[in-house]
Structure 1
Amino acid sequence: MRMRQWADDLAMGVRFAFTGGREGWVRALLTAVGVGLGVALLLLTTAIPNALSQRDHRGSARDDFTYSQKPLKKADDTLVIAEVDTAFRGNDVRARLLEPEGARAPLPPGVAKFPAKGDMVVSPALKKLLESGSGKLLRERIPYRITGTIAQSGLIGPSELAYYAGATGLQDHLESGVVERIDYFGPAHGNQQDSLDPILILLIMIIFVVLLLPVSVFIAAAVRFGGERRDRRLAALRLVGADGGMARRIAGGEALAGALLGLVFGTGFFLVGRQLAALLKVRQMSVFPSDLNPSPALAALVAVAVPAAAVLVTLFALRGVVIEPLGVVRTAKPPRRRLWWRLLLPLGGLALLYPMIGQGRNNGDFNQWMVIGGTVLLLVGVTALLPWVVEAVVARLDSGSVSWQLAVRRLQLSSGSAARMVNGIAVAVAGAIALQMLFAGVEHDYTKQTGNDVNRAQMDVSVSGGHSLADAGRQLAQTKGVRRASAVAFGSVGDRAKDPKNELEVAVGSCAELREVARLTSCRDGDTFKIVGGEYDSETEKITKPGGTAYFDPTYSGTQRHPVAWKVPAGMKTAAQREDPTGYARSGLLVTRGALPQAAAAGLIQRVFVSLDPSVPDAGDYARNTAARLDPLANVFTLAASEQSKEFRSIRNGLFVGATCVLLLIGASLLVSQLEQLRERKKLLSSLVAFGTRRRTLSLSVLWQTAIPIALGLVLASVVGLTLGAVLLKMTGETVSVDWASVLSMTAIGATVVFAVTLLSLPPLLRLMRPDGLRTE
């Protein structure tokens, strides 16, 4: 019987929401928009795991380099493939050259047939780029005719730049390291996915909590839109015979109606956003709309949890409100909020996180439920403490300008509404500060110094031995945007032609170029040097005995090399070690071009260290074009002082994408909330204007009403965020340090969002400040 009474009362509230005239529809629509924005982001979040899984699956399905120790022999089902990846204006371009060796050669995923020599199939994004004016520079580097496009099954995202081009003669370069013979596409047999370490798992858990909690706070705030007008309706219901419990349940039914309509709106927003996802590219990441399919179980959970939360939040909000036939007690001065129970939430969060301090890589995994629970309690503590802080502060504010006094008095009467509006952004800022501290604290564990000297060179270009090294260096040096190019060839010499016992590194170049890899005193063409002070000095002495014979490019079992005999000259000079631009200090021999046997040049790896002029736009791309013209199989490496773990970088990119979505939600929800509050005060604003209050004064009062709570919310968010960040750093065993630049930037972003929302709300505010707003029916 009781359940039936609940159902009847909730159903009556739903009917009131949709049959209450224009006022009821406006209130329901505002609630639905606010809830719908949150639901859309929740659905997007439940769809992200599937989208990432699909990206990984397609990426693994097209793996083509097995790096097997046992090379395949040519057969009817083999394919020779060359990796010729490049980059254009900071965007990676996945590139492969294909040479099928039989009728059953495997086709790459997404490719209908092999392109002929000189032809290529491209991704839709690359085709669009190459056909545009901005892709002219890249077109010079990819001189193939477009004959088709790669299907979705062969791409990880709609914005990926990729192509497969036909080629011949690739088998001659099978030992180059960039060419391999394969008989299938997919992950190498026996390869297992490396599991993430506990610190990265902790980062992922905190990211999900920090991104989803503000969404939940916004949904909870949205279902309470129209609170003051609802109270007047509830008093009227009491007047016609409803008891207090029934009135509250009817209010819950009205919130339920807005939440159900919000589910419909949210689904629509999600479907529209999913179609627009193909146009969105964040840090080279993009997803296909078809990949954004929410998990059915999680989507059902959202569909049930949002309406249930709407009813529970409404009943909770009315727990201390006495609804009488002649009015609502809330219109009087509310009792002072109590602090003690509000402190229990953050203290409980700290109590859950404290036992895991010092765990992580060395002491086992973190307890996921304790991490999530502790973080949620700490951040929810912001929503519990903020109303008390706002009430305590505004109660002590007094004198000032007319606009200031209007704002302060409004806050003193309804500090709860002001705090609810700010709660979501305060939680988001607190979580962002904690995450920034955690990322900054553990970043050094996932970042390693490469040793590259980027002041000497910014690119390392490798070209095959079939090209003149001097010509390669000269052409790169003459390229637009290149300051200097040092061409050095590298190889090895052994004491025997086959399976040598002792083997040394050898570098070949002009005197000026050899000074890039060693320290020379005097040098002229025809000289040879042995590097002393290195790790292999004993081997050097054995191979460089005057009059002895050494062999360039000695062969080993299974290789197809052609050793070249070389008589060791007398009077070999000495040189000291020096790190090359990649940070490597070599041992062995240095040979000027005049002293190199002509036949030995083919077995050398030719590299050019390129220094770019940063003042020339696209200097790197001009150098890449020259390298591709010299050798289609040229490898071009960009030198960097440090490099980051791929997993850490992916997690950080994911955070950036999620934070962008949450930031958009924050702005949209704040705007809806602001418009709802202005609509509630329509008659009050019109009355003040009718009595002669200047519009400028009222506009400033609205700005103060927003600025005071947000300032208090950002201060509280900074305190909680710093506390949570410090605890998380202690959990990972890192030294607690505050990245004040990140703290200030997060706070500034939050303030900027609120300021932008306030500016956008000024036009409707000016329309509301008209005397004709006093009209009523």
Structure 2
Amino acid sequence: MRAAGRSLALGARFAVSGGREGWIRTALTALGVGLGVTLLLAASSVPGIVDGRTARSDARAVTASESGGASRAHGTFLHIDASTEFHGRPVTGSLLRADGAGAAPPPGVRAIPKPGTMVVSPALRALINSPGGELLKERLPFTDAGTVADPGLLDPGELLYYAGDSALSPDRGAHRAHGYGTHHSGEPLGPLLVASIALGCVVLLVPVMVFIGTAVRFGGERRDRRLAALRLVGADARAARWMAAGEALTGAAVGLAAGGVFFWVARHFAGGIRLWGRSAFPSDVRPQPLLVLLVVIAVLVTSVAAALLALRSVSIEPLGVVRDAKPRSRRLWWRLVLPVAGVATLVLTHRFAGRDAPLHVVPIVVGSALALIGLVGLLPWLVEKSVARMRGGPVPWQLAIRRLQLSGGSTSRAIGGITVAVAGAILLQMVFAGMQDSFAHPDHSTGSLPAATGRAAHGTPREADATAEVSGPDIGLARRLASALGRTEGVSAVSTTVESYASSLTAAAEGKGDGHSAPITSVTVGDCASLRAFAHIPVCRDGDTFVSRTSARMAVEDRPGEVVALDDGDGASHAATFTVPSSARVVTALRGWEGESHSGVLATPAALDAARLHGARTVARVWLHGQVPDAVEHVRTTAGRLEPTVRVSTLLNRARDRQYASVGTGLKIGGTAVMALIAASLLVSQVEQLRERRRLLSVLVAFGTRRSTLAWSVLWQTAVPVVVGTVLAVAGGLVLGKVTLDLMAEPVKTWWMFWPYAGAGAAVVLLVTLASMPPLWRLMRPEGLRVE
């Protein structure tokens, strides 16, 4: 142990001494390891970011929120949601009215805004005052009276406002509360999402560890020559390996320190970086101590393992390094062990567990990790076999191919990160595409509008492009919305109704319920033109009532002569009842969203007073002609000026579950960071390889080789392994995606999703080659022939 300690210490001295060459080698290693450590520390900060965001969300949630009939007190206030959306970005808003001087303001706000004024977040103020924010400014007719401080924001880029409204009352749907601050224990993630998160961690972190293992091998040829000189003065083979381990440990330790510095600097810019609609406060970007300890141990172990693994095929003797001889052909059998074991883990788990068995996360993680790591070992063998028999071609091509034939391992190791990242991205994309049906449901959602579909089959009108909804029955507001929206730019038609539910008393008395409650039917009040959006109504006048049905549904709860109890909004039966007239005509319901039909009771205002529907909502459906780019924003502005609490939403083909969307967003952010790391790491590796070949480049220039020829050779030398690696990544990603989806009992949606990732790999190669041109030009000077 004492001898091993001396050898480790001597290796550490070599890492920090040896003049300029030693410092440059250690600096490149530290830079490579530091980039990987920065991303690992960022990943370990995700729990802190999530916890900080959750704490801020809980802190501004109202407490003791009750229905509008709650008692009024000195410290209570009324509030109602007034959120909107602008060009795809959510704008969170609330209308407030204090009941007394003791009402508590929201977090980040000094006092509840006075009527007609608002306090806004810095990002919202910048958006309103920007050249394209005129429509949003018209939508918020309040005077800017202050700024929401950081404690009241979920992230620095959040669009948030609080406005004072003296007309706010329980009749408008407002709720009374006495303060802010609550705690919500979020719903546990489902097994599919847990498996996706675990799979994402594997896909995002394996390329980082691959690159760290590559970075600690920078300057390998010089290190081996130095170890051969030490063998000449008496060191044995074991001592040489301990020295190599000590040098790798030192480089990794410096890289850990550099990564900590990079991370500390980068976290101060977290608020200005917005990826996929998310950012974070610098104070929330804090790594978890246990995860930091794991990062340190993993980096040090990986560095030593990579250094010792690099020496397995090198014989360091006192008279030189036996690497200059003809390289031995790489063996395939042991390189197939890991990928075959990974795929077999997934396949056998699916076969023995069965399709209906509970989803097991461990086999998915282990199998995917083994397969992805195995691709790194397969790449050098594939590159070697691909270039072994290549001959002829232009001079740049010959230089690149000959270099790959003699020592393609270093280039293949650098490309290994791209291979794993592309394969992992294809795997994740296939899994998420297969899972989307499990997290999709027809709904109204704030998003982009689908293209106008004209008239559907059988001549039925298409579903509305947007809806404007307000809590409470207000037929007067419905008429004002119809008038104002009808004059709005980009709107072709408007239908306004008051909608609620009712329970069938007659059916309950006849025992037609579920044994616990009476059958429920929908009740819709609107003028004749608006009711025609729900059913085929050939003749209609004010005072008519209709029963809308599908041809297959003959429910007892919505028949003519039925007595229904009107809903009071709290899920209980209200004392008020309504008898469907015996003269009510039965009409055929139109096919609506996702094939569902608008069945139920349809009444005109003269037949049923909408004010009796206490638990109702006032809805305006809007059809657009699609020729105005900002038609939806015009609709939101018009509706918001009439009623600030209106909720305008558009119809999406699919509305994703929030947890599914948040997990997908997190994986996209992580994938973007990994691709940026790979581009930076490949550049560092490229520069290190050019430094190793400095004398050779100078000799070629001295013999008359044009610099453009050498530049093209560098491009081909990187491009060939990338092409081979991309083919391997596509094949590996598709196979892994298929067997993982089989294990999750989900179908494969498409096999052609790898094209963007193959293009991303090509773009990385081009960028790295262009960025490596300045160092290449400097290394091709005649001074490179000087020998000391």
Q: Given that residues 507 and 589 in structure 1 are in contact (C-alpha distance below 8 angstroms), is that contact kept between their aligned partners in structure 2?
A: yes
1:679 aligned partner: 691
Q: Could you say which residue in structure 2 is the equivalent of 1:520?
A: 537
Deviation at 1:62, TM superposition (A): 2.6
Once the two structures are superposed, the pairs formed by residues 3-42 of structure 1 within 5 Å of their partners are: 4-42=2-40
Q: 2:560 aligns with which of 526, 534, 541?
A: 541
Output aligned runs, 1:680-695, within 5 Å: 680-695=692-707
Which residue pairs with 2:457 in the alignment? none
Q: What residue in structure 1 maps to residue 466 of structure 2? A: 459
Q: Identify which of 749, 752, 757 aligns with 1:741.
A: 752
Shift of 1:530: 4.2
Following the alignment from structure 1 to structure 2, what is the Cα–Cα distance between the partners of residues 505 and 282? Answer: 42
Q: How does 1:59-78 map to 2 (within 5 A)?
A: 59-64=57-62, 72-78=70-76
Match of 1:435 in 2: 428
Tell me whether 1:288 sits opposite 2:281 in the alignment. yes
Answer with 42-51 or 308-317: which moved more: 308-317
* Shift, 1:372, TM fit: 2.6
Equivalent residues in 2 for 1:599-748, closer than 5 Å: 605-735=617-747, 737=748, 739-748=750-759
The whole-number CA distance in structure 1 between the counterparts of 2:466 and 2:343 is 49
Range that drifts further, 192-201 or 591-600: 591-600
> Could you say which residue in structure 2 is the equivalent of 1:180?
175
1:476 is aligned, of 477, 485, 507, to 485
Aligned pairs for 1:284-683 (under 5 A) are: 284-357=277-350, 362-368=356-362, 370-450=363-443, 455=453, 456=462, 457-463=464-470, 465=474, 467-490=476-499, 505-524=522-541, 527-531=544-548, 535-536=554-555, 539-543=558-562, 573-579=585-591, 585-592=597-604, 605-683=617-695
Partners of 1:502 and 1:389 lie apart in 2 by 67
- Within the candidate set 208, 221, 241, 2:214 is matched to 221
- Secondary structure of the corresponding residue to residue 618 of structure 2: strand
Cα distance, 1:564–1:239 mapped onto 2, change above 3 Å:
closer
- TM-score between the two structures when normalised by the length of structure 2: 0.88
How big is each residue's C-alpha offset from its partner over 1:722-764, in whole Å with a ceiling of 9 and x where there is no partner?
22212211211223x3733212222221222122211221232
* TM-score, normalisation: structure 1: 0.90
Shift of 1:775: 2.9
Instruction: Tell me the alpha carbon deviations over residues 559-588 of structure 1, each in whole angstroms, 9 at most, x when there is no partner.
Output: 99996999x989655532224569663445
Deviation by residue 1:263-306 (Cα, 9 ceiling, x = unmatched) = 12211211122112111222222211111110112212322332
Counterpart amino acid of 1:341?
W
CA contact (8 A) 1:519 1:576 kept: yes
Which amino acid letter does the alignment assign opposite residue 147 of structure 2?
A: T
Report deviation, 1:667: 0.4
Q: What whole-Å deviation, never above 9, does each CA across 1:83-104 have from its counterpart, x for those lacking one? A: 1111111011111112233455
Residue pair 2:500, 2:613 contacting (<8 A) in 1 also: no
Q: Which residue of 1 aligns with 2:515?
A: none
Q: CA deviation at 1:241?
A: 3.1
Offset of 1:23 from its aligned partner?
A: 1.2
What are the residue-to-residue correspondences of 1:169-248 with 2, within 5 Å?
A: 169-173=167-171, 176=173, 179-187=174-182, 192-248=185-241
Give the match's secondary structure for 1:611.
Answer: strand
Is contact 1:97-1:167 (8 Å) kept?
yes
The letter of the residue matching 1:512 is A
Partner of 1:547: none
Instruction: Tell me if the contact between 1:118 and 1:167 (Cα under 8 Å) persists in the aligned partners.
Output: yes
* 1:609–1:398 distance in 2 versus 1, CA, 3 Å: same
Structure 1 window deviating more from structure 2 (80-89 vs 584-593): it is 584-593
The answer to whether the Cα contact below 8 Å between 1:581 and 1:609 also exists between their aligned partners in 2 is: no
Matched residues in 2 for 1:738 and 1:490: separation?
38
Whether 1:85 aligns to 2:80 is no
Q: C-alpha distance in 2, partners of 1:481/1:556?
A: 34
Structure 2 unaligned spans of 5+: 454-461, 510-517
1:581-629 alpha-carbon deviations (Å, 9 max, x no partner): 6966344544446767698799974321112343323221111111011
Count of residue correspondences = 759
1:349 alignment partner AA:
G
1:541 partner letter: P
Question: Take 1:217 and 1:502, find their aligned partners in 2: how far apart are those partners?
Answer: 61
- Contact 1:84 1:632 survives alignment (8 Å): yes
Aligned CA-pair RMSD: 3.3
Residue 182 of structure 1 aligns with an amino acid whose one-letter code is A
Flag the 1:764–1:557 CA change in 2: closer, same or farther, 3 A.
closer
Counterpart check, 1:144 vs 2:163: no
Q: Shift of the alpha carbon at 1:310?
A: 1.7
Compared with structure 1, are the counterparts of its residues 745 and 597 closer, same or farther at alpha carbon in structure 2 (3 Å cutoff)? Answer: closer
Give the unaligned 5+ runs of structure 1: 545-549
Q: Give the 3-state SS of the residue equivalent to 1:168 in structure 2.
A: coil
Greater shift after overlay, 503-512 or 320-329? 503-512
Question: Post-superposition shift, 1:361?
Answer: 9.4
Residue identity in the other structure for 1:287:
A
Q: Any idea what SS the aligned residue of 2:180 has?
A: coil
Q: Work out the CA distance in 2 between the residues paired with 1:570 and 1:343.
A: 77
Partners of 2:519 and 2:340 lie apart in 1 by: 67
Q: CA deviation at 1:194?
A: 2.2
Alpha-carbon shift at residue 186 of structure 1 (Å): 4.2
Give the drift of 1:698: 1.7
In the alignment, does 2:753 pair up with 1:753? no
Question: Structure 1 stretch 357-366 or stretch 118-127: which is displaced more?
Answer: 357-366
Equivalent residue letter for 1:89: H
Distance 1:362 1:77, change over 3 A: farther
Deviates more, 1:411-420 or 1:107-116: 107-116
Contact 2:548-2:587 at 8 Å conserved across structures: yes
Contact 2:82 2:95 in 1 (8 A): yes
Cα distance in 1 for residues equivalent to 2:571 and 2:396: 87
| Residue of 756, 764, 770 corresponding to 2:781 | 770
Distance change (3 Å), C-alpha of 1:595 and 1:539 = closer
For residue 643 of structure 1, report the CA deviation from its aligned partner.
Answer: 0.9
Q: 1:146 to 1:560 in 2, by over 3 A?
A: farther
- Corresponding residue SS for 1:323: strand
Task: Give CA-to-partner distance per residue, 1:678-703, whole Å, 9 cap, x none.
Answer: 11111111111111122232222212
Deviation readout 1:50-90 (Å, 9 max, x if unpaired): 21122123223333388868963323443321011111110
Which AA in structure 2 matches 1:470? R
The one-letter code matched in structure 2 to 1:485 is V
What's the secondary structure of 1:740's corresponding residue?
coil
- Tell whether the 8 Å contact from 1:55 to 1:157 is kept in structure 2 after alignment: yes
Q: Is the 8 A contact 1:220 1:309 kept in 2?
A: yes
Q: How far does residue 665 in structure 1 lie from its aligned partner after superposition? A: 0.2
Is the 8 Å Cα contact of residues 48 and 285 (structure 2) preserved in structure 1?
Answer: yes
Give the Cα separation in 2 of the matches to 1:654 and 1:495.
Answer: 47
